[in-house]
C-alpha cells in the first residue's frame, strides 16, 4: 500500500477527497471502519486533543489501541487531528511531546494547529513538527486562518462572518506559510466552521456553513499542497462537491457522526445501538452525500 502522501495526492488529482472521521468516543471506531470497508472507500480515523478532554476518547494511546484492533490497512489509516499550540481555552499546550508520542504509537499522519499564533510563530511551530514527521516518514498537516467553532463563546452571526471573510486564510500568507513551514497538507478557512464543543452548544444542530469557492480556488492555485476542509459536517452538498474540484483533498467530519452516536445512546442506553447508528450515518455520508464510495482503488494506486 502506498504512503499517505501518495494517497492524498491521488485524491487531489482525481478531484475527490479523503474523508477523515473524528471519533470522540472509542466505540465509534469499529462501525466507522466497517462502513468505509463496506462502501469500498478509503478514509482516515482521527482524534483531536480536545476529544480527550471534552469527550471520552481517552487520549492518543487509547485511540491507537482501538484503531489497530480493527484496522483494515487497505481502507483506513490513523491521523492525529488538531494538536494546538494554544488551545480553545487559551492555554499553552506541550504540542511537540503529544505529537512525538503519537508518532511513536504508529500514527500515519499528524496535525499541528498554530492558527492562534502570529504568522511567524505558526511557521516556526509547524516547521518543528514537519521536521519530526518527515523523519518518521509521515505527512504533517497544519492550519492557517481561523476555522471557528471550538471556542467557548458563541459564534458571531454566520452571514456576517461569511460576508466579512473573518478568519479566512489569506492567499499571500498561505504562499509564504507553505514555502517556509514544510507542511504537507494545509487546513484552510473559507467559510467553514467547526461543530461547537462547549456544553451549552455541542448538542445543537450545526450551522449550514457555505464556502467561498472563489477564495478556495485562489488558494489552491497559489500553494503547492493539498488543502483540507475542516468542519465538513452540515455544509450543503453542492458546496462540498464543488470544493473537491478546487483543491480540497481531505475533508474532516465530526459532528454528523458524534451527534448520531450521542442521541442513540441517550435514547436507548445501548452502545451497540449507537454503534449501528454511526455505521448507517457514516455509510450514507460516504456513499450518498460526499460521493466517495468506490474510491479505494483510485486513491491507493502506487503511481500518481
Q: Which residue numbers are catalytic?
A: 81
Rounded to an integer, what distance in angstroms lies between the CA atom of residue 284 and that of residue 279?
9
In contact, 59 and 97? CB cutoff 8 Å = no
Helix (H), strand (E) counts: the chain: 13, 8
**In the chain, where do the E strands start and end?**
18-22, 43-47, 76-84, 109-113, 140-144, 185-188, 227-229, 248-253
Strand partners, 188: 144
Which of 60, 58, 170, 183 lies closest to 113 in space, CA to CA? 183
Calculate Rg over the CA atoms of the chain. Answer: 18
**CA nearest to 191, candidates 227, 145, 237:** 145
Half-sphere exposure of 177 (CA within 13 A, CB side): 34
Amino acid at each position: 500500500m502506498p504512503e499517505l502522501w501518495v494517497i492524498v495526492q491521488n485524491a487531489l488529482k482525481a478531484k475527490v477527497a479523503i474523508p477523515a472521521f473524528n471519533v470522540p468516543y472509542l466505540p465509534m471506531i469499529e462501525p466507522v471502519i466497517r462502513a468505509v470497508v463496506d462502501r469500498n472507500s478509503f478514509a482516515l480515523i482521527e482524534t483531536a486533543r480536545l476529544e480527550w478532554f471534552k469527550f471520552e476518547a481517552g487520549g492518543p494511546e487509547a485511540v491507537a489501541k482501538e484503531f489497530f484492533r480493527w484496522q483494515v490497512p487497505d481502507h483506513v489509516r490513523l491521523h492525529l487531528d488538531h494538536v494546538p499550540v494554544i488551545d480553545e481555552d487559551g492555554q499553552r499546550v506541550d504540542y511537540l511531546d503529544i505529537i512525538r508520542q503519537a508518532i511513536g504509537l504508529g500514527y500515519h499522519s499528524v496535525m499541528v494547529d498554530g492558527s492562534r499564533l502570529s504568522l511567524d510563530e505558526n511557521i516556526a511551530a509547524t516547521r518543528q513538527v514537519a521536521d519530526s514527521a518527515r523523519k518518521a516518514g509521515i505527512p504533517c498537516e497544519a492550519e492557517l486562518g481561523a476555522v471557528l467553532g471550538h471556542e467557548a463563546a458563541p459564534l458571531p452571526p454566520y452571514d456576517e462572518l461569511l460576508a466579512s471573510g473573518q478568519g479566512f486564510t489569506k492567499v499571500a500568507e498561505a504562499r509564504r506559510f507553505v514555502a517556509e513551514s514544510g507542511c504537507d497538507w494545509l487546513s484552510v478557512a473559507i467559510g467553514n466552521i467547526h461543530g461547537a464543543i462547549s456544553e451549552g452548544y455541542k448538542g445543537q444542530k450545526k450551522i449550514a456553513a457555505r464556502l467561498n469557492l472563489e477564495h478556495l480556488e485562489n488558494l489552491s492555485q497559489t500553494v503547492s499542497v493539498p488543502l483540507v476542509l475542516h468542519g465538513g459536517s452540515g455544509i450543503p452538498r453542492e458546496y462540498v462537491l464543488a470544493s473537491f474540484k478546487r483543491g480540497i483533498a481531505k475533508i474532516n467530519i465530526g459532528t454528523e457522526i458524534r451527534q448520531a452516536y450521542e442521541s442513540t445512546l441517550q435514547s436507548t442506553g445501548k452502545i451497540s445501538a449507537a454503534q449501528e447508528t454511526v455505521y448507517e450515518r457514516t455509510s450514507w455520508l460516504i456513499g450518498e452525500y460526499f460521493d466517495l464510495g468506490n474510491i479505494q482503488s483510485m486513491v491507493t494506486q502506487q503511481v500518481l
